[in-house]
Amino acid sequence: MAKVRLENITCNFDTVTAVDEISFEVPDGEFWALVGPSGCGKSTILRAIAGLEAVTAGNLYIGNTLVNTVPARERDVAMVFQNYALYPHMSVFDNLAFGLRMRQSDRTTIHQRVETVAKSLDITHLLGRKPGQLSGGQQQRVALGRAIARQPQVFLLDEPLSNLDTQLRDDTRTELKQLHAAIGITTIYVTHDQTEAMTLADQIVVLDGGRIQQIGPPQIIYAQPANRMVAAFLGQPPMNILQASYDQGLFCLGEQALPCPPALLPLLQSAHGQNLHLGIRPEHFQAYTSSHLAPSPHLPAEVKLVESLGRESLVRATLIDQPHQVINFFIGTDLSARVGDYLYLHLDLDHLMIFDAETGDRLQPARD
């Protein structure tokens, strides 16, 4: 096991800067997730750590060793690729055993390790098959198993569960968490799936355009996003972002006005007349069928879509007179809403976030 440290890492492909001066350190034994939109540089970072991509600038350490020029095979990292590359001519058993044989482990160790890993990933019945005889999800589990069987210093996992169905994905995620708890190998995990990032990771790194937007524990990233990009990226459905202008302690959204919570007033001393973006998560709206019932402050909205999720429904509505302002929120089974209905949305202002409309940065009290 080893820590992994990136110091001002940049990776260019011709004119494209895929990774732009990135620095972070994953302590020995921790599980970190890299998240961000497609093309933000996640795979490039993993490939650079694995030694499959040269870094253009910066220093990369595994343990205390500077590995910029160390060949991939000498880095003792195992990577599961986004498009899991299995050896097509080898059986599943041989694929799983490959890394161990390369390290000249003895026969008994190899058999034991392969059987344990195959059992934990539920692929024991596939050990005699070739990759071409497996489904996409089965191949993905073999690729994961091959990395696990080797027990390297560092795991680099690039969307390792993306081809699994929901049930298998949940099961494998639990397996991964238990496995990490048991063997504690330093792991860097790339995913599009927020649930995976939120449930598995000690720390999440949010990337956009090759740059780090925020690093932090999942709950902090969710509750205290550094900017609008991070706020809108994590959460399903994402945080609602409303355009408003600020004047004398009030946020104006067309005809509607919301009072600024006292705690946020100091942030807005020089913001009079300024355009701002207000962020509020779907779970912080409470819907009422009449304006008399709805506590202040509330916003009137017209229902555009209702999706039943079983225990609750997800409603998409637009502010009255401002059809470009879309709000997603949940309603319980006690309230029925149909397309065209008007609802009155009470906001919990304690959870309101304010973003600079230009830069996207969150205006946050100093205690954050």
Ligand X SMILES: Nc1ncnc2c1ncn2[C@@H]1O[C@H](COP(=O)(O)OP(=O)(O)OP(=O)(O)O)[C@@H](O)[C@H]1O
Q: What share of the chain is helix, strand, coil (3-state, %, to 5)?
A: 30, 35, 35
CB of 227 to ligand X, least distance (A): 18
Phi, psi for residue 344 in degrees, rounded to 5? -115, 120
Q: Is 157 exposed, middle or buried (0-12, 13-18, 19+ CB in 10 A)?
A: buried
Contact 203, 29 (CB under 8 A): no
Q: Which neighbouring-strand residues pair with 275?
A: 245
Of 6, 41, 212, 279, the one binding ligand X (CB under 6 A) is 41
CB of 74 to Mg ion, least distance (A): 24
Rule CB under 6 A: which of 56-115 touch ligand X?
A: 82
Partner that binds at residue 108, options ligand X, Mg ion, none, CB closer than 5 to 8 Å by kind: none
With H, G, I as helix, E, B as strand and everything else as coil, classify residue 224.
Answer: coil
Q: Tell me whether strands 250-253 and 298-308 are parallel, antiparallel or unpaired.
A: unpaired
- Which range of residues in 7-15, 43-51, 160-168, 289-297 is near Mg ion by CB under 5 A? 43-51
Partner that binds at residue 13, options ligand X, Mg ion, none, CB closer than 5 to 8 Å by kind: ligand X
Of 35, 44, 196, 353, the one binding ligand X (CB under 6 A) is 44
- Report the residue number, 41 or 145, with the smaller CB distance to ligand X: 41
Q: Does 191 bind ligand X (CB under 6 A)?
A: no
Edge to edge, the sheet with strand 211-216 lists 77-80, 154-158, 186-190, 31-35, 203-208, 211-216
Of 43, 95, 213, 313, the one binding Mg ion (CB under 5 A) is 43
- Report the residue number, 39 or 259, with the smaller CB distance to ligand X: 39
Contact 34, 208 (CB under 8 A): no
CB of 41 to Mg ion, least distance (A): 9
Phi, psi for residue 186 in degrees, rounded to 5? -55, 125
Q: Does 38 bind ligand X (CB under 6 A)?
A: yes
- Which range of residues in 36-44, 211-219, 257-265, 356-364 is near Mg ion by CB under 5 A? 36-44
Structure tokens at 315: 């409603």
- Cis ω before 297 (30° cut-off from 0): yes
Q: Does 44 bind Mg ion (CB under 5 A)?
A: no
Contact 214, 203 (CB under 8 A): no
CB of 136 to ligand X, least distance (A): 16
Rule CB under 6 A: which of 4-33 touch ligand X?
A: 13, 16, 18
Partner that binds at residue 39, options Mg ion, ligand X, none, CB closer than 5 to 8 Å by kind: ligand X
- Which range of residues in 40-48, 180-188, 202-210, 338-346 is near Mg ion by CB under 5 A? 40-48
How far apart are the C-alpha atoms of 198 and 16, rounded to whole Å? 30
Tell me which residues touch ligand X (CB under 6 A).
Answer: 13, 16, 18, 38-44, 82
